């Protein structure tokens, strides 16, 4: 037993240090994903794209995880191959996609650089720049979602039984800090006239590459931990071959299914909204791109602060399903108020931040109540794949609604119908949260119990 007490994951300093390291990887992931939100009008002007095409660009991130099931496959690979190999492979794809996207937006490419003529040879209705950026977005999404699954399993490995909900809350916080930085830095670097647009995009790509280096550092600590615990990660985890019964078993668990459906509806009402929020605030409240970016950044800043606090409460008090219900109610009220009034957007975005803290802080760590640890990667991967169905569909739907409700008017957009659509999705999420609480009460999964209780 003394041997185990000396393991790295028994040291609080090492645990929190590891969280900082993988949290940085998560931050640059979210930075790149959200860096384009405040650049929407600049991208449209520079590459002559419509709202629908911008929505396609946002949604292309989710195609590998929605239609190729890469998040599920990545989760299965994670459970069978291990954290180090899986993590390096998918963080590398994430960095590769970021570089391709930045290259597609660069002047060198636009002046006939490598691949330009090939991209110009098909689908002429789309610009070569957009098509190269779509390719980059595809590879970025292929790597980014599974890398989040990897980080989740890392936290279970290092924090199970030791403030796991707080660790997941801080994990969410790191992601939101990346979003906060992107929403503030991207429009500032790009400038109001878009003269430094490519610089802003390249900075985001370089940060993702630094995240790859950070994960390489983590791999050293992970290998040392496995050696201390006298495990061989690859052999141990591969000893149980994958079976499709694993997937069937997860989907037949109603509590897991309700959480997965809440996940897709909740995130579909938030992330696609964020992709359009700066433009929405600029149009409705007559703000500049920098001002609207700062306003939107109150959401990730609030979640970075609130999510760890809610994680502490869930660690100690439980009530995860109840927290998800309150979060879904708050999200619905906020979207309805955005759509139907001119109420202070600062107050509403903070309230949205509270909702966006409650649900993730309760939802992600609750998985350890429902799934065997040997299947945790598969469970998270399947959940992210289901989530990506919404992240693929709703940006396109939102862009199509904007084009339909604002025909011939690309500069000023009436977002009422679009925001009402997000409110409707929030209501569906509320229904799944209520069903989860009912299922937990009926079957006794322990979702409402403190996380340190079985």
Domains and CATH numbers, the chain: 2-443 (1.20.1250.20)
User: What's the confidence (pLDDT) of residue 159?
Assistant: 85
- pLDDT tens-place string over residues 337-375: 999 999 999 999 989 989 988 898 888 888 878 887 777
User: What's the confidence (pLDDT) of residue 338?
Assistant: 95
Give pLDDT < 50 ranges for the chain. 1-4, 232-239, 454
- pLDDT tens-place string over residues 278-307: 889 988 998 887 888 889 888 888 888 888
User: What's the confidence (pLDDT) of residue 237?
Assistant: 44
User: What's the confidence (pLDDT) of residue 89?
Assistant: 96
Q: What is the pTM of this model?
A: 0.78
| CB half-sphere exposure, 41, CA atoms < 13 A | 23
Q: How many angstroms from the chain centroid is the CA of residue 161?
A: 25
User: What's the confidence (pLDDT) of residue 201?
Assistant: 95
User: What's the confidence (pLDDT) of residue 21?
Assistant: 95
Q: Are 389 and 261 in contact (CB under 8 A)?
A: no
User: What's the confidence (pLDDT) of residue 242?
Assistant: 60
d(CA 22, CA 6): 22
The set of residues, in sequence order, having a beta carbon less than 8 Å from that of 204 and lying 6+ positions away, is 31, 32, 35, 98, 102, 182, 186
Provide the angle, in degrees to the nearest 10, between the axes of the packed helices 376-405 and 70-81.
160
User: What's the confidence (pLDDT) of residue 166?
Assistant: 86
CA distances in angstroms from 63 to 57, 67, 70, 138, 274, listed in the order given:
11, 6, 9, 7, 19
59: closest CA among 397, 381, 380? 397
């Amino acid at each position: 037993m003394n041997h185990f007490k000396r393991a790295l994951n028994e040291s609080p300093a090492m645990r929190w240090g590891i969280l900082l390291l993988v949290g940085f990887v998560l931050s640059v992931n979210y930075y790149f994903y959200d860096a384009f939100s405040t650049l929407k009008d600049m991208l449209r002007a520079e590459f002559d794209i419509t709202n629908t095409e911008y929505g396609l660009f946002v949604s292309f991130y989710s195609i590998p995880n929605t239609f190729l099931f890469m998040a599920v496959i990545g989760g299965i690979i994670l459970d069978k191959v291990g954290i180090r190999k899986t993590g390096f492979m998918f963080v590398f794809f994430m960095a590769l996609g970021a570089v391709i996207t930045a290259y597609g937006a660069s002047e060198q490419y636009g002046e006939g650089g490598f691949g330009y003529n090939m991209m110009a040879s098909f689908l002429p209705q789309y610009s070569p720049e957009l098509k190269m950026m779509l390719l980059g977005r595809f590879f970025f999404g292929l790597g980014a979602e599974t890398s989040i699954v990897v980080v989740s399993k890392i936290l279970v490995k290092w924090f199970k039984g030791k403030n796991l909900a707080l660790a997941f809350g801080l994990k969410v916080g790191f992601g939101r800090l990346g979003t906060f930085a992107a929403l503030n830095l991207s429009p500032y670097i790009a400038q109001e006239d878009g003269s430094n647009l490519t610089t802003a995009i390249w900075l985001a790509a370089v940060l993702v590459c630094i995240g790859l280096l950070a994960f390489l550092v983590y791999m050293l600590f992970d290998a040392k931990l496995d050696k201390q615990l006298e495990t061989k990660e690859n052999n141990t985890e591969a000893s149980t071959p994958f079976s499709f019964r694993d997937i069937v078993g997860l989907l037949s668990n109603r509590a897991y299914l309700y959480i997965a459906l809440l996940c897709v509806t909740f995130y579909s009402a938030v992330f696609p909204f964020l992709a359009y929020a700066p433009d929405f605030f600029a149009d409705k409240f007559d703000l500049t791109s920098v001002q609207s970016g700062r306003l939107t950044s109150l959401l990730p800043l609030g979640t970075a602060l609130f999510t760890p606090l809610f994680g502490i409460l869930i660690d100690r008090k439980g009530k995860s399903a109840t927290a998800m219900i309150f979060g879904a109610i708050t999200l619905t009220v906020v979207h309805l108020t955005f759509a139907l009034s001119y109420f202070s957007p600062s107050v509403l975005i903070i309230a949205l931040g509270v909702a966006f803290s409650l649900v993730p802080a309760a939802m992600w760590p609750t998985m350890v109540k429902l799934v065997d640890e040997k299947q945790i990667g598969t469970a998270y991967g399947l959940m992210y794949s289901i989530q990506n169905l919404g992240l693929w569909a709703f940006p396109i739907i939102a862009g199509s609604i904007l084009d339909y409700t604002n025909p011939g008017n690309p500069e000023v957009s009436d977002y009422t119908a679009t925001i009402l659509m997000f409110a409707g999705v929030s209501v569906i999420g509320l229904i799944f949260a209520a069903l989860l609480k009912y299922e937990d009460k009926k079957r006794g999964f322990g979702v409402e119990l403190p996380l340190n209780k079985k």
